[in-house]
Amino acid sequence: MQHFQHYIGGRFANGAAQFPSTDPATGEIWAMMPEAREADVNAAVDAAHSAFVSPEWADMTATGRGKLLQRLADLVAENAPKLAQLETRDTGKIIRETSAQIAYVADYYRYYAGLADKIEGAHLPIDKPDMEVWLRREPVGVVAAVVPWNSQLFLSAVKIGPALAAGCCVVLKVSEQAPAPMLEFARIFDQAGFPPGVLNIITGFGPTCGSVLTSHPKVDHVAFTGGPETARHIVRNSAENLASTSLELGGKSPFIVFEDADIESAVNAQVSGIFAASGQSCVAGSRLIISNKIKDAFLTRLKEKAEAVIIGDPNDMATEIGPLCTQAQIQTATDIIAASENAGASVITGGRPVAIRGNYFPPTIIDCSDTPDAPCLTQEFFGPVLSVVGFDTEADALRIANDTAYGLASGVFTRDLTRAHRMIRKIRAGIVWINTYRAVSPIAPFGGHGLSGHGREGGIQAALDYTKVKTVWLRT
């Protein structure tokens, strides 16, 4: 049995209590996790606050911060296999995906290492000959970062990287569902040479840990990734101190295929767009909006591919679908599909849990063309479930795509470039992928509108969001 610890003020510490973590592939308890409660949270915030005002960090040059982040990126790359294995063990995400993702997690740290000394202020050409006026960009302060269990190494990197590049200090709260990868990351971070308290990593439950952290008066900014319901709690928590927030929430992303699309490429993109990470991804292309002219042929090909997907041990490189992270998700997916069938939707493949040990659910395709209110089409949930709607005209496709309160990602498959441009202009989403899906880069901002949240991660903007502007007037 492995035991993990918190990382507070540069030291490893047990929490107020401990709780077990279950291996989603076997259902067995494999590790004990520390549980942070109020005193642990306060210690972590105090450590971040002390580090923020300490000369060691506050007076470090931006280039110095960049060098430390570069060292961190190297350490992440060196420790990639271990981090990938732990993520697979604790979350059930297949090793093929965790190994691929950790490589670009290192790239994100590298990108923000390079950006640290390129966060510039500005000189303002004020209409007064005896006055010099300029803007300084200063770190926003202590950041509370709260992340879910899925893709946690990545979702943490897109907060820690820009926040430290900007000169902030961070308390990161990892999800209680599967905290092992980020608690192990703390051991790697510790070797990079940052002053103690610059980053603190804790885990615990929403009401007793997350809530205490996000309502803490010494927190200046809350960066959250998770569900909209939790986001509402967090915004209410942070409102007391008027802390700023950035929210990366869920999605119900449209994947639109026109009749002139490259069908094989669209089918492949749809398979990975929804079934990668067993559908446990905020950008999952969970609504296939397909031209009625090719619907039958497309679904036949898609069904063949979905049924050929290899389901099994997440530690096996050949596996394409692993278990869902928690048993509760199996129940949610089963209930939503049953309710959708009752409403008149028809399951094309999958739809029932796989009868093997562990939290397995098969790739599922469900036709909702005649049931626009079917819960599987309207509700966001984590699972390999694709809901399908046919359309006749471009206007219909757009209307169906935008018929959601979410607005995170979208995909459009067409060979008609002018049509692609019309769709780009009209789709309500933070990301539009044309003839591709799920592409990411540290350089490209990532985030949504509406129920999918606000603020952007990735790119230069993310680092600027961790700064505040100071206007300086100097009489000469």
- Residue 175 vs 387, nearer CB to ligand NAD: 175
Nearer to ligand NAD, 195 or 322 (CB): 322
Query: What number of H helices and E strands is found in the chain?
Result: 16, 21
Residue 77 CB, shortest distance to ligand NAD, in Å, is: 23
Site membership for ligand NAD, residue 23 (CB under 6 A): no
Among candidate residues 190, 185, 192, the one with its CA nearest the CA of residue 157: 185
Partnered with residue 170 across adjacent β-strands are 143, 199
Q: Is residue 114 a contact point for ligand NAD (CB under 6 A)? A: no
From residue 294, alpha-carbon distances to 259, 269, 396 in Å are 6, 16, 15
* Rounded Cα gap, residues 104 and 85, in angstroms: 16
**Residue carrying structure tokens 């900007």:** 166
The verdict on 227 binding ligand NAD (CB under 6 A) reads yes
Q: Which is nearer to ligand NAD, 258 or 382 (CB)?
A: 382
Is 304 a known active-site residue?
Answer: no
* Minimum CB–partner distance for residue 401 and ligand NAD (Å): 18
> How many residues bind ligand NAD, per CB under 6 A?
28
Q: Does 249 bind ligand NAD (CB under 6 A)?
A: yes
- The least distance separating ligand NAD from the CB of residue 107, rounded to whole angstroms, comes to 17
Residue with Cβ nearer ligand NAD (121 or 206): 206
Please list the alpha-helical segments (H only) found in 25-115. 38-53, 55-58, 62-78, 80-91, 95-115
Contact between 176 and ligand NAD per CB under 6 A: yes
Burial zone of 193 (CB within 10 Å; 0-12 exposed, 13-18 middle, 19+ buried):
exposed
Residue 148 as a binder of ligand NAD (CB under 6 A): the answer is: yes
Does position 155 interact with ligand NAD (CB under 6 A)? The reply is: yes
Write out the H or E segment, with its range, that includes residue 132.
strand 131-139
Residue 445 has φ and ψ, to the nearest 5°, of: -60, 155
| 467 binding ligand NAD? (CB under 6 A) | no
Count of CA atoms in the C-beta half-sphere (13 A) of 223? 30
- Set 35, 87, 176, 248: catalytic member: 248
380 binds ligand NAD (CB under 6 A): yes
Alpha-carbon span 445 to 317, nearest angstrom: 30
Task: Work out whether 234 is an interface residue with ligand NAD (CB under 6 A).
Answer: yes
For β-strands 364-367 and 346-349, DSSP reports them as antiparallel
Burial of 388 (0-12, 13-18, 19+ CB in 10 A): buried
Q: Is residue 149 part of the contact set for ligand NAD (CB under 6 A)?
A: yes
175 binds ligand NAD (CB under 6 A): yes
Q: Which of 10, 114, 121, 206 binds ligand NAD (CB under 6 A)?
A: 206
Which residues would be at the binding site for ligand NAD (CB under 6 A)? Answer: 146-151, 155, 173, 175-177, 206-207, 210-211, 214, 225-227, 230, 233-234, 248-250, 282, 380, 408
- Point out the residues that are catalytic: 248
